[in-house]
Structure 1
Amino acid sequence: MSKNNRKHGIFAVDQRFTDITLQSINDVRNALTIEQALRVVFKQMDITGSRPRTIESYSYVFNDFIKITGLIYVEDIDVDSIYEYLNEINVAKTTKLLRLKTIKAVLSRFFDNRWIEHKFWKNIQIKIDKQVKTAANESDIEILLTLIDRSSFIGFLDSVAILLMYKTGIRIRTLGELRERHIDLENKALDLDGAVLKNREYLKLPIDDQLAEMLRTLIQQNAKIRKKYKKRHDYVFITQNGLGINRSNSSTNAISKQLTRYSRMYGLKNINAHAIRRAFAKNLLNKGANVALISKALGHADISTTTQYLDLNKEEVANSLREYL
C-alpha cells in the first residue's frame, strides 16, 4: 500500500469510528430516560462532594417537574415543558425562581454529559422584586444577651452561638457543623475547612478574648455531657442530651429555633440567624472595612451578594462618598 493509500485508509477508519461514536451518542440521547439520567447525575454530585441536602433538593424539584409535565425521556425536555411546569405550580414567585434555578442546574449537568445538545433553557427568566432583608440592630443583640440566663447549659450555649455568629458572620448551618478542630483557641481563630462551608473554600476568621474563653468553657461542658450520654462526636454546639444541633433533612437547627423563641418572648422583631449575619457585615462596614474584605469574610462567591447584605440606603451612600471628595 502506498503512503497516500495508507493515509486515506487511516482516515477512512477514523471517519467510520467517528460516525459510529456520534450514532451511539444519538442513540443514548433518544433512549435515555430522565430517571436514568438523574441517577447518574446525583451519583456524580455525590462523588464530587455535593451536600446530601443539595442532592435531595434537586431530586425533589426535578421529580416534581417530570410528574407535572409527564415527561419520560431526556430528549423530550424543552422550553415549553419548563414553562408548563412553572405555570402549573402554585407557589410564590421567589419559590418559583428557586425551582427554575434548580431545573437549570440539573439540565446543565445533562448538557455536560452530552445528553442535550444546546442550552435552550438559558433565556428562561422569572422577574421578581427582591426584598432586601435588614440586619439585626446591635442594641437588640446586646439586649438579648443580657436577658438570656447563662447559668443553664442551654442559655450559655445560645449566648456563645449568638456571639459567634455576630462576631464572625458564619452561617447557622456552619455553626451546627463546627467541630473542636475548627476552634484554634491558642491563636484565637476559627479554621474552617471546605467541609463546613457552603462554597467549599477554606476560611480563617479571628475571634476576641471574650469569645475564645466562652468557647473554651463550652467545650469543657460538652465533654461532661458527651461522657454522661456516651456520645463519641466532637461537635462544638450540641443539645443537652449530647446530640448535634443540625438535622440532616432541614436547614434549621436547635439554635435557629431558640432565636425564634427569644424573638417572640422578648419582643425583638429582627432576631434570627440571617439578620445576625447581616449585622456582622454592617458592623464591619461601619468600622471602615471595604466590601471586598467583607465579602471574603462572609464566604461569598459573588461580591454582588455582599452588597445586598449591606443594605445601604441613599443617605449612607452619599455620606460615604462625601469622604472621598
Structure 2
Amino acid sequence: MFAAQIRTFEKYLRIERNASDCTCRSYLRDLADFCDFLRVTRIGSFEHITDIDGLAVRAYLADCARRNRKSTQARKLSCLKTFFSFLVREGLAAANPAETLKAPKRDSTLPRHLTVDEMFALLDSVPADTLLQARDRAVLELLYSTGIRLSELVGLNRCDIDQRSGTVLIRGKGRKERVVPMGRKAAAVVADYCARSQDLAGRHQPVNRAPVFLNNRGGRLSGRSVARLLDGWIERCGITHKISPHAIRHSFATHLLNAGADMRGIQELLGHASLATTQKYTHLHVDALMQVYDRAHPRSKIVPEGL
C-alpha cells in the first residue's frame, strides 16, 4: 500500500534530512503499522494516498492509544505529520490529514537508574579473564563513563577511539559528531580489550576501520547483544531490578548532576540538541533533594500553626 510514495519519502529522509539508518527504520516501521491498520480495519477505500482523511488518521491514533505508550503514540503521529507534509510539498497530496491533530501529553517519568554504589558494584563484578569478559567489561565501562547511546556505542569503530587523549568520537542523532572524554579507567579497559581482540578485528577489514566491539565471528556487536550481556551481569552482581543500556545513560547524567556538574556541560556530553531534554534530570535531582530534606532536617515535619 502506497509503496512508491513511501520509497520516495525514504530517499528524502536519507538525502535531504541526512537521517540515520535507525531513524529511517523507525519512520518506515511506523508507516508500515499505519498501512497495516488501514488494510486490516478496512475503514475506507484507500486506493490513492489522497483518499486518506483526518477520520482515518484519528481512528488509527485511537487504536494506538489502546496498545501503545503515550511516547509511542506521539512518535507515530509525528511520523504521519512528517510523511504527509512531505507529500504535500512534492505535490503528491493536496492536504496533510494529520496536521491539526495533537499528540497526547507525554508522561514525564524517567527510566530507572542505578545508584553510584550499584553502578560500581556492576562494573567491579565483571572480570577480564576471557576475551568476551574483557569485551563486556569495556562495554559497560564505556556506557557509564561517556553516557553514550546504545546505537552510538555499537556504531563505534576503532579509529573513533583516541587512546592518546582519552577521548571518543561519537556520531549521534542526525549524524552530528561530538568528542567526549572516556575517563582513565574506561580508557584503560577499552585499550586492553582492543589490544586483545586485534586479530579478530582484522579478520574481515583493516583493524583501524573495524568495529570497537565484536561478536564471536568478528562482526559488529548488536544492540540486542549488549542488552543481553547487561542482563547477565546485572543478575550476577545481585541487582534485583531490570536495567536497560539506556538506563545507564540516565545514571551517568543523574550522577553528574548530583555531583554539581553544569547543565550545559551535561547537555554537550549527552549530545542533546535541546537543553530542555537535559533539564528533565533536574526534576529527578530536586525530588532526591526533597527526600533527603524530609528525612533529615529537624524542622521538615513541623506543621505551622495558624496557616
Question: Which interval holds the TM-score relative to the shorter structure?
Answer: 0.7 to 0.9
2:279 corresponds to 1:307 = yes
Unmatched runs of 5 consecutive residues or more in structure 2? 40-45, 294-307
Q: Which amino acid aligns with 1:52?
A: D
Structure 1 residue 139, shift from structure 2 partner: 0.9
SS in 1 for 2:246: helix
- Relative to structure 1, the CA distance from residue 92 to residue 161 in structure 2 (aligned partners, 3 Å threshold; closer, same or farther) is same
- Relative to structure 1, the CA distance from residue 314 to residue 212 in structure 2 (aligned partners, 3 Å threshold; closer, same or farther) is closer
Q: Which amino acid aligns with 1:39?
A: R
- Which structure has the greater CA radius of gyration? 1
SS in 2 for 1:260: helix
SS in 2 for 1:203: strand
Alignment partners' CA distance in 1, 2:188 and 2:139: 13
Structure 1 residue 244, shift from structure 2 partner: 0.8
What is the aligned partner in structure 2 of residue 113 from structure 1? 90
SS in 2 for 1:253: helix
Measured against aligned partners, the alpha-carbon deviations of 1:40-75 in whole angstroms (never above 9, x if no partner) come to 111222334323333233223223323433523222
2:156 corresponds to 1:184 = no
What is the aligned partner in structure 2 of residue 54 from structure 1? 23
TM-score by length of 1: 0.76
SS in 1 for 2:169: strand
Structure 1 residue 203, shift from structure 2 partner: 0.4
Measured against aligned partners, the alpha-carbon deviations of 1:211-270 in whole angstroms (never above 9, x if no partner) come to 22222222111212235xx32151111123312102xxxxx3322211112223333125
Structure 1 residue 293, shift from structure 2 partner: 1.7
Q: 1:97 aligns with which of 68, 74, 85?
A: 74
Is 1:135–1:270's contact at 8 Å kept on the other side of the alignment?
A: no
2:237 corresponds to 1:260 = no
- Relative to structure 1, the CA distance from residue 127 to residue 72 in structure 2 (aligned partners, 3 Å threshold; closer, same or farther) is farther
Structure 1 residue 172, shift from structure 2 partner: 1.3
RMSD: 2.6
SS in 2 for 1:312: helix
Counterparts in 2 of 1:201-280, with a 5 A limit?
Answer: 201-227=176-202, 230-232=203-205, 234-246=210-222, 252-268=223-239, 269-280=241-252
- Relative to structure 1, the CA distance from residue 186 to residue 285 in structure 2 (aligned partners, 3 Å threshold; closer, same or farther) is same
Unmatched runs of 5 consecutive residues or more in structure 1? 1-32, 247-251, 321-325
TM-score by length of 2: 0.80
Structure 1 residue 315, shift from structure 2 partner: 5.6
Identity of aligned residues (%): 22
Q: Which amino acid aligns with 1:96?
A: Q
What is the aligned partner in structure 2 of residue 164 from structure 1? 142
Structure 1 residue 85, shift from structure 2 partner: 1.4
Alignment partners' CA distance in 2, 1:58 and 1:171: 19
Alignment partners' CA distance in 1, 2:118 and 2:292: 25
Q: Which amino acid aligns with 1:213?
A: A
Q: Which amino acid aligns with 1:129?
A: D
